[in-house]
Amino acid sequence: MTTDNTTRKFPAGTVVRPDYRPPPLRSVYAVRAKVELLSFVREREAVVFTFAFPILLLVIFGSVFGGQDLEGGVSFAQYFVSGMIAAGLFGSSFQNLGISIPIERDTGALKRLAGTPMPRSAYFAGKVAVVGVVAVVQNLLLLSIGVLFYDLELPTSASRWVTYGWVSVLGLTACTLLGIAATAIVKNGRTAPAIISPISIVLQFISGVFFVFSELPAWMQEIAALFPLKWMTQGMRSVFLPDEYQTVEPAGSWEHGRIALVLTAWCVLGLAVAVRTFRWRNKADG
Amino acid sequence: MTDYAIQVTGLRKSYQGRAAVDGVDFEVRRGEVFSLLGPNGAGKTTTVEILEGYRRRDAGDVWVLGDDPAAVTAAWKARIGIVLQRVDDLSQSSELTVREWVGATAAYFPDPRPVDETIDLVGLGGKRDARASSLSGGQRRRLDVALGIVGRPELLFLDEPTTGFDPEARRQFWGLLEDLTEQGTTILLTTHYLDEAERLADRVAVISAGRIVEVGTPQTLGGRAQAAARVRWVGPDGPREVTTDTPTKVVTELATRFDGEVPELVVERPSLEDVYLKMIGAGS
């Protein structure tokens, strides 16, 4: 292929390229955020299910097992609410993007965008906006229901709120990047739910959402420890459960340093894979 | 010196060893409407998507607005407009309105056309606030075009823009394209509708099996202008037909013989369809 200017066989044309002054990045990001948020809130069924599903799970599990007491003076409902908050973060980022991006690739939405001068980062900025809004609303709903019906105690110390903040932000970042990276292995929008949903459900089972983590077989704990969700649930337990419960955790402590380390590692890995493998066109499209 | 919007020489592209584009040469002048005409699978879309910067070529030289599309930049993309052959995002998932769609797309370009003006130009003024998913097929295609022209492109790619249109929608759409060319937009139109190429294109390239069979104006393609004419009429013994290089002479003789009106007189040159079918038959 001859792409070198010295091999040019034809005159380049008489039109001198006008000075290109792209629109400010900030305003393009704002437009993409608006597009994504409007598209989300106007899909009413999707909005209802996105927010109702974790609440429904919370009510079902809370009603069935809620009364059981765990070690360390904690009720199962309290344990489960902290797990569901972590799972909600995971669902609104990893699961949401892992399914919605391949569908947009199938419809040609991504191809259309790639044909415009829009900076490609703006597309991801829009996704981050919608992930952020969904995560915040979902967290507020789960916290309210947990406090009102399942004896969840909101943290009273500033340091616990700080933990809540960094675990949420770091976990969301890791899972957002992983959701984008996962679209590399998803061939099309039809198979996306079949691949992404089982990953999320299995991880929820082994990471301390539906079952008490310390009661799982050791090998299962070891597998779960490779993935981010286990560390997010542990981080959330450190926010909402009393400090005495630490002794029940397999490590005997909340392991904040390790949580930060593992989630950061997943951020780096997700980013590296996403940057290298992201496709704007369906494979079937050549 | 002629000012070219597109120059293509020796363009080749294969998929899994099968040549989709097999040595294509053509150029498109600025301000021209150039049509790539060919059957499905002839290599039209592959050619156009290489020019648009979506696909890499295997060989050949390609210059689009003086740049190589294989090295696309935002500055270059701001000067072209793309209407893809098939995109389902407007029908499947778009809860955005026409105005929101056009407004968002305008925001990616440095010097966009005003949003409402663009919507009026494609004839969607009455549908400004309608959700894209609620539009009819023809209206959605107009929105596709609105998104393609909102950035004021110097060069507009239209890949089979009217597939699935009813005749009236097609005619309205042609009017829109004529407006755009009046404003100086260069258009590369791929189509498999002969009447569309004949009506809109300054020049037509017939492409078949990855090669250009011929380039010419719709009127002269395939030697149409010089081809023998057929004269048909109904005589006392039933329908008659002669093929002649001098149809005027034949008609004059007939007029004398019938002393006035010749019953059911028809004089015809080969239609674009006739020469086209002959060409793509020869190319395959």
The partner residues of B82 in beta bridges, in order of sequence, read B157
Mutation target vs A (from B48, B94, B95; most A CBs, 10 A cutoff): B95
CA nearest to A27 within chain B = B107
The C-alpha of B100 sits at a distance from chain A's nearest C-alpha, in angstroms, of 8
Alpha-carbon distance of A70 to A79, in angstroms, equals 9
Pair (B122, B189) in one structural domain: no
Q: How many CB atoms lie within 10 A of CB B17?
A: 5
Q: pLDDT of B252-265, one tens digit each?
A: 999 998 888 888 89
Alpha-carbon distance of A13 to A93, in angstroms, equals 47
Look at residue A3 in the predicted model and tell me its pLDDT. 40
Look at residue B282 in the predicted model and tell me its pLDDT. 55
DSSP percent split of chain B into helix, strand, coil, nearest 5: 35, 30, 35
User: In this model, does residue A231 exceed pLDDT 80?
Assistant: yes
Which 3 state secondary structure label does DSSP give B64? strand
**What SS3 string covers A156-222?**
CCHHHHHHHHHHHHHHHHHHHHHHHHHCCCCCCCCCHHHHHHHHHHHHHHHCCCCCCHHHCCHHHHH
User: In this model, does residue B151 exceed pLDDT 80?
Assistant: yes
Is A46 near chain B, with CB under 8 Å?
A: no
Look at residue B17 in the predicted model and tell me its pLDDT. 86
The C-alpha of B67 sits at a distance from chain A's nearest C-alpha, in angstroms, of 7
In a domain? residue B216? yes
CB A215 within 8 A of CB A236: no
Alpha-carbon distance of A112 to A109, in angstroms, equals 5
User: In this model, does residue A12 exceed pLDDT 50?
Assistant: no
Instruction: For A217, list phi and psi in degrees, rounded to 5.
Output: -60, 150
Alpha-carbon distance of A91 to A50, in angstroms, equals 9
Q: Quick one: pLDDT band at residue A11, thresholds 50, 70, 90?
A: very low
Q: How many CB atoms lie within 10 A of CB B216?
A: 16
CB B124 within 8 A of CB B98: yes
Query: What's B39's DSSP letter?
Result: -
Q: CB–CB of B63 and A13 under 8 A?
A: yes
In a domain? residue B194? yes
Domain boundary among B148, B163, B191: B148
Look at residue A17 in the predicted model and tell me its pLDDT. 52
Q: pLDDT of B81-133, one tens digit each?
A: 999 988 787 776 688 999 999 999 999 999 999 999 999 988 899 999 999 99
How far from B81 is each of B76, B142, B252, CA to CA, in Å? Answer: 10, 14, 52
- In this complex, the residue of A2, A20, A286 whose CB is nearest that of residue B75 is A20
The answer to whether the pTM exceeds 0.80 is yes
Pair (B26, B70) in one structural domain: yes
Pair (B234, B264) in one structural domain: yes
pLDDT-above-70 percentage for chain A:
93
In a domain? residue B40? yes
Alpha-carbon distance of A206 to A192, in angstroms, equals 22
Closest CA to A249 of A267, A273, A225, A275: A225
Mean pLDDT of chain B: 88
- In this complex, the residue of B5, B78, B131 whose CB is nearest that of residue A117 is B78
Assembly ipTM: 0.84
Q: How many Cα atoms within 13 Å fall on the side-chain side of residue B104?
A: 23
Query: What's B261's DSSP letter?
Result: P
Which 3 state secondary structure label does DSSP give B175? helix
In a domain? residue B84? no
Q: Length of chain A in residues, anyone? A: 286
Q: pLDDT of A183-212, one tens digit each?
A: 988 888 889 999 999 999 999 999 999 889
User: In this model, does residue A105 exceed pLDDT 80?
Assistant: yes
Look at residue A7 in the predicted model and tell me its pLDDT. 35
Look at residue A94 in the predicted model and tell me its pLDDT. 95
Number of domains present in the structure of chain B: 3
Pair (B207, B135) in one structural domain: no
Q: pLDDT of A25-47, one tens digit each?
A: 999 999 999 999 999 999 888 88
Pair (B143, B249) in one structural domain: no
Q: pLDDT of B181-235, one tens digit each?
A: 998 899 999 988 888 888 899 999 999 889 999 899 988 887 777 777 889 999 8
Q: CB–CB of A109 and B57 under 8 A?
A: no
What type of residue is B27?
E
Is A13 near chain B, with CB under 8 Å?
A: yes
CB A210 within 8 A of CB A125: no
In a domain? residue B273? no
Pair (B112, B246) in one structural domain: no
CA nearest to B80 within chain A = A116
List the alpha helices (DSSP H) in chain B. Answer: 44-51, 74-77, 89-92, 98-106, 115-121, 137-149, 167-182, 194-200, 247-258, 272-283
Residue B50 sits in a domain of what CATH number? Answer: 3.40.50.300
The boundaries of the domain holding residue B245 are 228-268
Pair (B5, B65) in one structural domain: yes
Pair (B74, B102) in one structural domain: no
Look at residue B278 in the predicted model and tell me its pLDDT. 80
Closest CA to B33 of B240, B271, B239, B200: B200
User: In this model, does residue A51 exceed pLDDT 60?
Assistant: yes
Look at residue B277 in the predicted model and tell me its pLDDT. 82
Look at residue A164 in the predicted model and tell me its pLDDT. 97
Pair (B54, B172) in one structural domain: yes
pLDDT-above-70 percentage for chain B:
98
Q: pLDDT of A233-276, one tens digit each?
A: 999 999 999 998 988 888 889 999 999 999 999 999 999 999 99
Look at residue B229 in the predicted model and tell me its pLDDT. 84
Mean pLDDT of chain A: 88
User: In this model, does residue A13 exceed pLDDT 50?
Assistant: no
In a domain? residue B274? no
Pair (B6, B58) in one structural domain: yes
In a domain? residue B135? yes
Mutation target vs B (from A107, A121, A283, A285; most B CBs, 10 A cutoff): A107
Pair (B29, B59) in one structural domain: yes
Q: pLDDT of A120-152, one tens digit each?
A: 999 999 999 999 999 999 999 999 999 998 888
Pair (B232, B208) in one structural domain: no
Q: How many Cα atoms within 13 Å fall on the side-chain side of residue B203?
A: 15
**What SS3 string covers chain A?**
CCCCHHHCCCCCCCCCCCCCCCCCHHHHHHHHHHHHHHHHHHCHHHHHHHHHHHHHHHHHHHHHHCCCEEHHHEEHHHHHHHHHHHHHHHHHHHHHHHHHHHHHHHHCHHHHHHCCCCCHHHHHHHHHHHHHHHHHHHHHHHHHHHHHHCCCCCCCCHHHHHHHHHHHHHHHHHHHHHHHHHCCCCCCCCCHHHHHHHHHHHHHHHCCCCCCHHHCCHHHHHHHCCCHHHHHHHHHHHHHCCHHHHHHCCCCCCCHHHHHHHHHHHHHHHHHHHHHHCCCCCHHHC
Domain boundary among B122, B148, B174: B148
